[in-house]
């Protein structure tokens, strides 16, 4: 059986570095598409599938941080590795906040880059191989019917759910036992047309606790993680 060839989009405007990275990634067995500016990168991303994007920060036309942020509006899954000569903690935090999965400062060790690439692609593969949620999901004595937009509490009482509630429930349950950041919730549930406050998301979580927890003040399933996001735990 032929092993799958993973595809990488390499966005780097420094020609010598671009060519060296492309060659070494191809020697590792990756299929590499290269470009030299942010605008071209955004165009290519809409036309082809990639398993990883390697993105320089200092790019002509549109910088790498803006490219990363734009990609994340439509795709929260593809791993993005940022390369940058800026090595301050503030720059690293900004890159990660805008949606990068990893941040490597220049000059870097080639072996370290290849290890990070391998790790990001493996993690992406694991996430994509997760079993999709069934139409009806049960936890404890509760039940959610995603298609019918309704739930049933531990006593069998029917709860009518809004579309947004179902989208948020699905997102939390798909990532069960992991913290889902507020940024990811904004992107996945609300999009960027509306900016709900933290309180809005908190109110949704409070409603879920009223619906599905035996004691809403001592939640077993729906947790707030201070200053980070929210987590669903299937006990």
What does the pLDDT look like over 43-57, one tens digit per residue? 999 999 899 999 999
**pLDDT > 90? residue 128:** no
* pLDDT, tens digit, 9 for 90 and up, residues 76-90: 788 999 999 988 888
Beta-carbon contacts of residue 24 (< 8 Å; ≥ 6 apart): 110, 114
> What is the tally of helices (H) and strands (E) in the chain?
8, 12
> Could you tell me if 198 and 230 are in contact, meaning their C-beta atoms sit under 8 angstroms apart?
no
Q: Distance from CA of residue 160 to its chain's centroid?
A: 29
Residues whose CB falls within 8 Å of the CB of residue 206, separated by 6 or more in sequence, listed in order: 216
Residue 93: what pLDDT? 86
d(CA 12, CA 159): 51
Q: Which CATH architecture has domain 7-128?
A: 3-Layer(aba) Sandwich (3.40)
Please give the order of strands across the beta sheet that includes 52-56.
Answer: 31-35, 7-11, 52-56, 80-84, 102-105
Share of the chain above pLDDT 90, in %: 61
* pTM > 0.95: no
Residue found under tokens 């990634």: 25
Phi, psi of 135 (to 5 degrees): -65, -30
Confidence band for 3, pLDDT divided at 50, 70 and 90: low
pLDDT tens per residue, range 176-205:
888 988 888 887 787 644 556 778 889 999
Contacts 24+ apart (CB under 8 A), 61-65: 61/37, 62/37, 62/38, 63/38, 64/11, 64/38, 65/94, 65/95, 65/98
Cβ neighbours, 10 Å, residue 154? 13
Task: Domain ranges for the chain, please list them.
Answer: 7-128, 136-232
Q: How many CB atoms lie within 10 A of CB 102?
A: 20
Q: Where do we find the tokens 């390369």?
A: 83
For 136-232, the fitting CATH number among 1.10.357.10, 3.40.50.150, 3.30.465.10, 1.10.10.10 is 1.10.10.10
Mean pLDDT score across all residues of the chain: 89
| Total number of residues shown for the chain | 235
């Amino acid at each position: 059986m032929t092993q799958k060839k993973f595809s990488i989009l390499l966005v780097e405007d420094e020609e010598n570095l671009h060519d060296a990275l492309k060659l070494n990634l191809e020697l590792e067995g990756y299929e590499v598409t290269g470009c030299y500016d942010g605008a071209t990168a955004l165009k290519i991303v809409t036309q082809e599938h990639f398993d990883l994007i390697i993105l320089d920060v200092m790019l002509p036309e549109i910088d790498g941080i803006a490219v990363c942020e734009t990609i994340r509006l439509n795709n929260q899954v593809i791993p993005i590795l940022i390369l940058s000569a800026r090595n301050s903690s503030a720059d690293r935090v900004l890159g990660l906040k805008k949606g990068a999965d990893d941040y490597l400062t220049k000059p870097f060790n080639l072996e370290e880059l290849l290890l990070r690439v391998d790790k990001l692609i493996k993690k992406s593969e694991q996430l994509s191989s997760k079993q999709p949620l069934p139409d009806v999901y049960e936890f404890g004595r509760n039940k959610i019917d995603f298609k019918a937009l309704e739930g049933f509490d531990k006593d069998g009482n029917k709860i009518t759910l809004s579309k947004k509630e179902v989208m948020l429930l699905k997102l939390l349950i798909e990532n069960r036992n992991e913290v889902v950041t507020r940024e990811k919730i904004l992107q996945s549930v609300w999009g960027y047309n509306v900016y709900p406050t933290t309180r809005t998301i908190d109110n949704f979580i409070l409603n879920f606790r009223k619906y599905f927890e035996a004691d809403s003040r001592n939640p077993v399933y729906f947790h707030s993680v201070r200053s980070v996001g929210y987590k669903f735990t299937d006990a």
